């Protein structure tokens, strides 16, 4: 697989024609976070902020042409309680050796056949096909581990405020309903069904424990699988 050279978004490096990515250029962007947007990470056993990638394109979201044209858009987001993450901040990613490393920007630039294209440091472009029909796959090699480690660090460092307990409670309630629906299938007795039920119950238990840390309250004692299954069968 060919490795394409990337630079920081401010770099002016020259790249040969064979190293240019196909497809239309992708614009510069910023990451931002709404205080209402969180999700559960089973790998980290904690709630992580869901980030929104906002393209900086004049004519959209109140963005104007010229330097600083996206300033009003940033001010509007901040007025709504969003946290806007500048590009020039410390990020965590997985390096070529497979270890977590640090960098000073999350936006990088690639030279494309139609101009500069921008990506985040966790994206790994893979060219599919050739010639005029070639395209770029940005997702299959995405550095999920590095991205999640960075998201966790944003909360730990205070760059993103800790979640509101009410928001987390909503996520826990959603998982409770999901686990409850699966419990109704537990009487099937099939091993794979039991495994699914136990998985949802374990996720619920982990989420409740993490939510208790957020709210400062003690975790509710979970309903045992045996008791829950009996209740579901008898309609209690």
> Which pLDDT tens digits describe the chain residue by residue (236 residues)?
344 556 555 444 333 445 789 989 999 999 999 999 999 999 999 999 999 999 988 877 778 888 877 888 999 999 999 999 999 999 999 999 999 999 999 999 999 999 999 999 999 999 998 888 899 999 999 999 999 999 999 999 999 999 999 999 999 999 999 888 877 666 556 677 788 888 889 999 999 999 999 988 765 555 444 443 333 333 43
**Residues 223 and 205 sit within 8 Å (Cβ to Cβ):** no
User: How far apart, in whole angstroms, are the C-alpha atoms of residue 30 and residue 106?
Assistant: 9
Q: Cα–Cα distance between 6 and 111 in angstroms, integer? A: 8
Give the number of C-alpha atoms closer than 13 A to the C-alpha of residue 208, restricted to the C-beta side. 16
DSSP state of 21: B
Alpha carbon separation from 87 to 1, 9, 10, 118 (Å, rounded): 29, 9, 11, 12
Q: Which positions ≥6 away from 181 have C-beta within 8 Å?
A: none
pLDDT at 178: 87
For residues 7 and 20, what is the distance between their CA atoms, to the nearest angstrom? 13
CB-CB neighbours of 163 under 10 Å:
23
Rg (CA), the chain: 22
- pTM greater than the 0.75 cutoff: yes
Task: Provide the pLDDT for residue 76.
Answer: 92
Contact criterion met (CB below 8 Å) for 85 and 33: yes
Contact 214, 162 (CB under 8 A): yes
Q: How far apart are CA 91 and CA 157, in angstroms?
A: 12
| DSSP secondary structure string for all residues of 140-158 | TT--HHHHHHHHHHHHHTT
What is each CA distance from 88 to 9, 25, 172, in whole angstroms? 10, 22, 34
**How is the beta sheet containing 29-41 ordered, strand by strand?**
46-55, 29-41, 83-85
Output the 3-class SS for 110-143.
Answer: EEECCEEEEEECCCCCEEECCHHHCEEECCCCCC
CA gap 110, 115 in Å, rounded: 9
């Amino acid at each position: 697989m060919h490795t394409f050279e990337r630079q920081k978004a401010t770099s002016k490096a020259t790249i040969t024609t064979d190293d240019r990515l196909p497809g239309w250029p992708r614009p510069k962007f910023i990451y931002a976070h709404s205080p209402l947007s969180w999700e559960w990470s089973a790998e980290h056993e904690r709630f992580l902020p869901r980030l929104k990638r906002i393209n900086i394109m004049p004519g959209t979201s109140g963005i104007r042409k010229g330097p600083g044209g996206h300033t009003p858009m940033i001010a509007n987001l901040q007025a709504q309680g969003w946290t806007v993450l500048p590009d020039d901040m410390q990020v965590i990613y997985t390096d070529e050796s497979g270890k977590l490393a640090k960098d000073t920007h999350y936006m990088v630039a690639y030279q494309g056949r139609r101009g500069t294209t921008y990506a985040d440091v966790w994206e790994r472009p893979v060219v599919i096909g050739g010639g005029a029909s070639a395209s770029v796959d940005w997702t299959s090699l995405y550095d999920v581990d590095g991205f999640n480690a960075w998201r966790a660090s944003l909360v730990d460092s205070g760059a993103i405020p800790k979640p509101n307990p009410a928001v987390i409670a909503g996520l826990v309630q959603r998982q409770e309903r999901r686990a409850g629906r699966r419990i109704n299938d537990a009487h099937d007795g099939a091993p794979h069904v039991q495994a699914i039920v136990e998985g949802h119950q374990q996720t619920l238990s982990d989420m409740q424990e993490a939510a208790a840390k957020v709210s400062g309250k003690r975790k509710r004692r979970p309903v045992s699988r045996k008791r829950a299954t009996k209740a579901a069968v008898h309609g209690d």
